[in-house]
Amino acid sequence: MADNQRADQDPGHLLLRLGVLLFLVGLLTGFVIPFLATPRLGLSSHLEGLMNGLFLMVLGLMWPRLVLGPMAQRITVWLAVYGAFANWFATLLSAATGAGAMMPIAAANRTGSALTETVVGFLLISLSLAMVAVCCLLLWGLRRGGRRPPAVAGDRTGP
């Protein structure tokens, strides 16, 4: 029981679980591509779900190596989760509605209503800023002198 409680409170474990979830959502998005208003953007959404899911999983695996304070950890986790899921959702919303003003190549210059273009635009800009902040925090957290991950039984890579 104590191990389950620790796993639920571990940011790395949370990132792994959310990464697998987003990867699954990305796979499922692939099934609806032909039915979307802009299939090319649907493909983008499918790939964003897969890539961002993998990003969250990698972040979860590297979490023990980061040297960040408690507040910086929370900020990093939630900005990464927001950025990853917002990227998938923004491209899916754009594919479903044809709102592609900010992605003219993938959208073949199609545009949607003012409301959907505003929502997609907000998501794309805010997720971009979030992911740049995440990368800066990760670089800072990986600075020299970082913690080593705990040794695993049978691991021969240690000192």
Residue 158 placed within a domain: no
Query: pTM of the prediction?
Result: 0.84
DSSP helix/strand/coil, 69: coil
Residue 50 placed within a domain: yes
* Number of domains, the chain: 1
Residue 156 placed within a domain: no
What digits encode the pLDDT tens for the residues 99-141?
888 888 887 778 888 899 999 999 999 999 999 999 999 999 9
d(CA 154, CA 68): 28
Residue 153 placed within a domain: no
Residue 151 placed within a domain: no
Residue 154 placed within a domain: no
Q: Could you give the angle at the alpha carbon of 29 between the alpha carbons of 26 and 33, nearest 5°?
A: 135
Neighbours of 6 (CB within 10 A): 10
Those residues whose C-beta lies under 8 Å from the C-beta of residue 69, and which sit 6 or more positions away, are none
DSSP helix/strand/coil, 58: helix
Residue 148 placed within a domain: no
d(CA 3, CA 42): 40
Domain that holds residue 41: 2-141
Predicted confidence pLDDT, tens digits, the chain (159 residues): 455 545 557 999 999 999 999 999 999 999 999 999 999 999 999 999 999 999 999 999 999 999 999 999 999 999 999 999 999 999 999 999 988 888 888 877 788 888 999 999 999 999 999 999 999 999 999 987 655 555 555 555 444
Residue 150 placed within a domain: no
d(CA 73, CA 70): 5
